[in-house]
């Protein structure tokens, strides 16, 4: 069984920039900068045959290249600290194409609203320091970066955290 998701990797210089935000927040488990990405669609655990069907379906997607800008800091409840993605119609268009392709191969539709982001840390609780961190970094914004492909990625759980491995890349035109 493979635990899969589709995502967009970030350029190394952007990962370095985001890694500079890590720290100064007690109780936060900071994500390794090498794992920073934007999840397009979490797939979950699938067998090899379904993984092959998913790969075939994703390879048939055609979508234009585009640019993304990361901006803003927020949380999902008391669980995750993230950097947001500025509204981008091309990104939502790609997400929708991926969703339709995955449903066609037999996956259940993802019932969650797509909220693109880069997870920076897993959180334990919400205190004044978290609110101060968010306020102090609320205006964080990156330069736009090009998106030339998206990837099918396997996630392996280890004691040290998740390890991600690209299974396939799909070029945008």
CA distances from 123 to 3, 20, 51 (A): 23, 17, 32
CATH number of the domain bearing residue 145: 3.90.1140.10
**Residue 138 structural domain:** 2-171
Check if 37 is active-site: yes
Q: Quick one: 10 exposed, middle or buried, by C-beta within 10 A (0-12, 13-18, 19+)? A: buried
How many CA atoms lie less than 13 Å away from 171 in the CB half-sphere? 1
Q: What is the pTM of this model?
A: 0.94
Instruction: Measure CA of the first residue to CA of the last residue in the chain; give whole Å.
Output: 31
The tens-digit pLDDT sequence of the chain (173 residues) is 999 999 999 999 999 999 999 988 888 999 999 999 999 999 999 999 999 999 999 999 999 999 999 999 999 988 899 999 999 999 999 999 999 999 999 999 999 999 999 999 999 876 788 999 999 999 999 999 999 999 999 999 888 778 999 999 999 99
Check if 140 is active-site: no
CA 44, chain centre distance (Å): 14
Q: Which position among 37, 93, 95, 140 bears the catalytic label? A: 37
Please count the structural domains in the chain. Answer: 1
């Amino acid at each position: 069984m493979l635990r899969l998701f589709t995502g967009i990797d970030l350029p190394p210089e952007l990962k370095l920039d985001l890694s500079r935000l890590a720290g100064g927040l007690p109780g936060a488990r900071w994500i390794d900068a090498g794992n920073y990405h934007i999840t397009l669609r979490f797939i979950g655990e699938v067998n090899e045959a379904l993984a092959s069907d998913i790969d075939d379906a994703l390879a048939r997607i055609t979508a234009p290249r585009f640019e993304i800008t990361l901006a803003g800091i927020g949380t999902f409840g008391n669980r995750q600290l993230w950097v947001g993605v500025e509204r981008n119609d091309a990104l939502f268009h790609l997400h929708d194409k991926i969703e339709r392709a995955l449903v066609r191969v037999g996956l259940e539709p993802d019932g969650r609203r797509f909220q693109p982001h880069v997870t920076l840390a897993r959180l334990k609780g919400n205190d004044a320091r978290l609110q101060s961190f968010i306020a102090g970094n609320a205006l964080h914004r990156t330069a736009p970066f090009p998106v030339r492909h998206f990837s099918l990625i396997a996630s392996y759980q280890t004691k040290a955290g998740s390890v991600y491995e690209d299974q396939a890349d799909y070029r945008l035109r």
